[in-house]
Structure 1
Amino acid sequence: MSLRGLRVSTPVSVSVSVSVSVSLNGGRTAADGGAVPLSPPDVVESALGAVAAGAGEVLVHPRTPCGRESLSPRVVGPLLEAVRGAGVSVPLSVSAGIGAEPDPAGRLERVRSWTVLPDRAVVHFAEPGAEELAEALVARGVAVDAVVPLGGEGAGPGAVEPEPGALARFLAWPVRDPARIRLAVELAVADPALVAGLRWLPPVPLLLFGREAAAWPVLRLAARCGAGARIGAGDVLHLPDGRAARSNAELVSAALEVVGTQSAVTAWSR
């Protein structure tokens, strides 16, 4: 895969069924307020509410009882079982990032020791060891969201300064199982020029998301492009009108309303 020969144009395709994923908690802490679920019971309740509101996927950062992010099988497995056991049937994702395990070798060891597997895992290609981690996950049958930042550094809580060339690293990585890989682009600004070429990258699907001030503009852009979209307390704590969100369900409901509006506007303009 490479950028050579890519056709760059403004996305104009329409999708009235844009999939919205929910990021339940991200790298946030209890200081960020009650809309952020941290304990397993709160994660289960929030996941149920978000799915009932229309979320098509659930992303969670598992945590120890003291609130620290963790990839330990003793943390990840019981949480996944609790969420699934409560009746959440949509795909479940976990973040396999540096916030949970700073050492690349440690992340590999944790992933290989999982006894209960998520449907997907988020791998940040701006972090060291991303290629090996993604390969280990795919080998275990776990689909991968390969995250690359575009238009600036990631602004999320606990974000680290990205290594240069995260997109180039992804493009150079041999995708041996395209059905299990999705390119998840984190945009610092909702600039169509940043994603126009990406939509033509074979053969993996595209998901767009932003954080904080970029979250809602990027979601609108995703709806216009027909790409997958992501929202949730892990990315943003306010609604499009600036009010504080009370729950992930409220964020998902607002996102689906935005998606519907943008799809209708785009269809009308064709």
Structure 2
Amino acid sequence: MLPPIVRLKAALNGGRPPGAHPGLPCTPADLATSAQAAVAAGAEAVHLHPRAASGAESLDAADVGAAVAAVRRACPATPIGVTTGLWITGGDAEARRRAIAGWAGLERHLRPDFASVNVSEPGFTALVGILDELGVAVEAGVWSVADADALSIAGRVPRVLVEVMGPDSDDPEAILARLDEAGVPGERLLHGEGERCWPMVALAGRLGLPTRIGLEDTLTGPDGAPVPGNAALVHLALSVWSAAAG
């Protein structure tokens, strides 16, 4: 069973290229160090994008297993999640399916505890089924009211990520309302990226929902100043969340 997140998950690296930020972790060792610092700062779970030796994002079992193993050694009690972003296989849903099905060859402790799957991407339902067989919980990425409607048909997931990516995104409260109207079960986690990142952290606090922060989402604090790494972002996000929560 996927443990609930009360306040915050740390998104350690995302799809940013190596060198995009001095503190961006890409190798398994760097991910482990960054995860440990983020958890010490108050993160309750971590989300990461495993990398190949080249630094490119990877869904291959060997790369996923190496990243998960390193982070699990550093943070043995912390739930670990990974991406399943379709862009990693160049938009090829079948190649993504094959790569993730290959995780069956990993020992259970080398598989992630959960994986994020975007509802709008082709192959969502099939991928949820594969992850269920692997014992990997699903976080459904919902970017719009239309995604919320699609998820109401697709089935149950333990966590729904309401993700606000840019200025033209649907209103997050409208998405949340549609999820409730459609009877979609599961924990809600609200977050944004770029300029929408910090407003979404504050909104999550006001609504009493968990949120996400990390170098995947932003390289700066709420005042626009650069940050040294994920632990600093966790500290700042907990402060913003708590202030908004009152």
TM bin, normalised by shorter chain, reads 0.7 to 0.9
Aligned with 2:131 (options 132, 137, 144)? 137
- Describe the shift of the 1:46–1:88 C-alpha distance in structure 2 as closer, same or farther (beyond 3 A): farther
What's the CA shift for 1:170?
1.4
The residue number in structure 1 matching 2:163 is 186
**Per-residue Cα deviation, 1:149-196 (whole angstroms, up to 9, x for no partner):** 138xxxxxxxxxxxxx43332121022xx5xx2111112466534433
Corresponding residue for 1:118? Answer: 112
- Amino acid aligned to 1:110: A
How many residue pairs were aligned? 231
1:242 equivalent in structure 2: 224
Give the whole-Å Cα distance in 2 for the aligned partners of 1:194 and 1:66: 38
CA distance in 2, matches of 1:145, 1:191: 17
Q: Which runs of 5+ in 2 are unaligned?
A: none
Match of 1:7 in 2: none
**1:84 corresponding residue in structure 2:** 72
Question: What is residue 211 of structure 2 aligned with on the other side?
Answer: 229
User: Residue in 2 aligned with 1:44?
Assistant: 32
CA apart distance, 1:88: 4.1
Structure showing greater Rg: 1
Q: TM-score, normalised by structure 1?
A: 0.80
- One-letter code aligned to 2:218: V
Q: Does the CA contact (< 8 Å) of 1:27 and 1:99 recur in 2?
A: no
Match of 1:3 in 2: none
Question: Do the aligned residues in 2 keep the contact of 1:119 with 1:142 (CA within 8 Å)?
Answer: yes
Aligned partner of residue 88 in structure 2, secondary structure: coil
In structure 1, runs of 5+ residues without a counterpart are: 1-16, 152-164, 265-270
Asked if 2 retains the 8 angstrom alpha-carbon contact of 1:63 and 1:70, the reply is yes
3-state secondary structure, aligned to 1:145: strand
1:202 deviates by: 4.0
1:257 to partner: Cα distance: 0.7
User: Which of 128, 131, 141 does residue 122 from structure 2 map onto?
Assistant: 128
Structure with higher RCO (Cα < 8 A, 6+ apart): 1
Structure 1 Cα separation of the partners of residues 172 and 119 of structure 2:
21
Match of 1:24 in 2: 12
Do the aligned residues in 2 keep the contact of 1:18 with 1:223 (CA within 8 Å)? Answer: no
| CA distance in structure 2 between the partners assigned to 1:113 and 1:171 by the alignment | 28
CA–CA separation in structure 1 for the residues paired with 2:223 and 2:24: 19
In structure 2, distance between residues paired with 1:214 and 1:18: 21
Answer yes or no: is the 8 Å Cα contact 2:82–2:114 preserved in 1. Answer: yes
Q: What residue is the counterpart of 1:156 in the other structure?
A: none
CA separation of 1:192 and 1:217: change in aligned 2, threshold 3 A: same
SS in 2 for 1:144: strand
Mapping of residues 1-270 of structure 1, within 5 Å: 18-101=6-89, 102-114=91-103, 115=106, 116-150=110-144, 165-175=146-156, 178=157, 181-187=158-164, 188=166, 191-199=172-180, 201-264=183-246
Q: For residue 8 of structure 1, what is the aligned residue in structure 2?
A: none
Native 8 Å contact 1:60 1:93 kept in 2: yes
Deviation at 1:99, TM superposition (A): 2.8
CA RMSD of aligned residues (A): 1.8
Q: Distance in 1 between matches of 2:128 and 2:227?
A: 33
Q: How much has 1:30 moved relative to structure 2?
A: 2.2
State how far apart, in whole Å, the 2-side matches of 1:19 and 1:36 are: 23
C-alpha distance in structure 1 between counterparts of 2:178 and 2:142, whole Å: 14
Aligned residues: percent identity? 36
Tell me how far apart the structure 1 counterparts of residues 180 and 207 of structure 2 sit (CA, whole Å).
8
TM-score (norm 2): 0.87
